[in-house]
Structures are given as structure tokens and as C-alpha cells.
Amino acid sequence: MLSADMAIDLGTANTLVYVKGKGIVLNEPSVVAIADNNGKKQVLAVGEEAKMMLGRTPGNIQAIRPLRDGVIADFEIAEEMIK
């Protein structure tokens, strides 16, 4: 059974994923776009695609940065971002 050693750096600006032997395999903005449909939240985009939505979304869609000042500000959205 093989296992890959990896590390995730949840940064306020960017999220990095490092895999041993391969280096950094993911470097994306720490942003998640969420649609609020009658109280039910749905993830629309993560990373660069969500960052492009900042300030350009209709009222029911929010581009959220789940990390602020070096700490996780929204655990549920941070979990969705990692998925």
C-alpha cells in the first residue's frame, strides 16, 4: 500500500497543497463562491474562479474568504474549500 505525504497550507490569501516528491501541486486563492437559495447554501466555485466573482455577483451569491487575519473565520466554508 502506497501513501503520499502531503501538507495543506490554509493561507488568508492563498491555499497551497504540497505533495512529497512533487512539490506544490495546488496554489489557489482562498475564496469560495456561495449561492444562498432560500436559506440553503450551495458552493458554486472555489479558488481562482471564485476570486473572479468578488464584487461581481448578484445578491444571492457571495464570494467569501473563510480565513481572516490568519485564522479560520468560517469553519463550514473552509471545509467546503478543502474538499
Domains and CATH numbers, the chain: 6-82 (3.30.420.40)
| Contacts for 2 with CB less than 8 Å, ≥ 6 apart | none
Q: What is the pTM of this model?
A: 0.82
Res. 83 pLDDT band, cuts 50 70 90: confident
Mean pLDDT value of segment 46-67: 88
Buried b (16+ CB within 10 A) or exposed e, 17-45: eeeeeeeeeeebbbbbbbeeeeeeeeebb
